[in-house]
Amino acid sequence: MADGDETPHALTVLIPKSTYDRIVLKSVAEIAAVLMLLVFFAVGCCLLYTRRYFRPILEDLVHVTAAGGERRKPVFEELLPISEKFRSHEEAVTVLKVER
C-alpha cells in the first residue's frame, strides 16, 4: 500500500516458485542464525556478569552476615556501609531474641 493510498494492491513476482521458496528459506535461516547469535551472546554476557560481579558481592554479603567468628572486611569498599547496616540489624535481632 502506498502512502496516502487506501486501496489495496496485489504484487506479482515473476520468478519461479522454486527460486522464491529458496530465497524465503535462506532469509528464514539467516534470521534464525542472527537470533541464535544474539541469544548466545546474551547468555554469555549474563554468565560473565554474574560470575565477575554478582558472585563476589554475594560472597561478601554472606561473610558479613555470617554469625560468629571473625568478620572479614568486604572486598568491595562500597559494601562497608551495607555491612555496618547488616551488623546493626543482626545485633538488634539478637537483642530481641534474648529479650524474648
Per-residue pLDDT 10s for the chain (100 aa) are: 556 677 777 777 789 989 999 999 999 999 999 999 999 999 999 888 887 887 777 777 777 666 444 555 545 566 666 767 777 777 888 888 888 7
The angle formed by the CA atoms of residues 24, 33 and 25, to the nearest 5 degrees, is 15
Whole-model pTM: value is 0.45
Q: Any idea where the domains of the chain sit in the sequence?
A: 17-99
Alpha helices in the chain (DSSP H): 17-49, 55-65, 80-99
